[in-house]
């Protein structure tokens, strides 16, 4: 019996990737303007900082959590 391993997490991640692609293409083709200041930096700098921080924090945390409870 073959089980379907594509559940809600798979489709949520797929939807997130598609939204990011649409936003990236739309921003590149100037469909909308996402270039504005938030404090001392532009919005895309803040998104890059947030993304890098997320990866830098979650990756080691996930590894530690998997070792403690496999």
21-to-16, 30, 55, 68 alpha-carbon distances in Å? 9, 14, 19, 35
For 35-61, write each residue's pLDDT tens digit.
888 899 998 899 899 999 999 999 999
Query: 0.95 exceeded by the pTM?
Result: no
Which residues are CB-neighbours of 42 under 8 A, at least 6 positions away? Answer: 35, 36
Tell me: do 39 and 69 sit in the same domain. yes
* Mean local confidence (pLDDT), 15-25: 94
Distance of alpha carbon 47 from alpha carbon 27, whole angstroms: 14
Q: Are 43 and 35 in contact (CB under 8 A)?
A: yes
Tell me: do 40 and 69 sit in the same domain. yes
Tell me: do 70 and 40 sit in the same domain. yes
Residue 14: which region, alpha, beta or left (left: phi > 0; alpha: psi -120 to 50)?
Answer: alpha
**Structural domain span for residue 25:** 1-32
Tell me: do 69 and 39 sit in the same domain. yes
């Amino acid at each position: 019996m073959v089980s379907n391993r594509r559940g809600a997490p798979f489709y949520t991640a797929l939807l997130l990737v598609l939204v990011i692609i649409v936003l990236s293409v739309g921003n590149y083709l100037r469909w909308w303007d996402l270039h504005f200041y938030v404090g001392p930096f532009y919005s895309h700098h803040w998104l890059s900082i947030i993304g890098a921080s997320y990866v830098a924090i979650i990756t080691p945390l996930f590894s530690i959590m998997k070792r403690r409870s496999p």
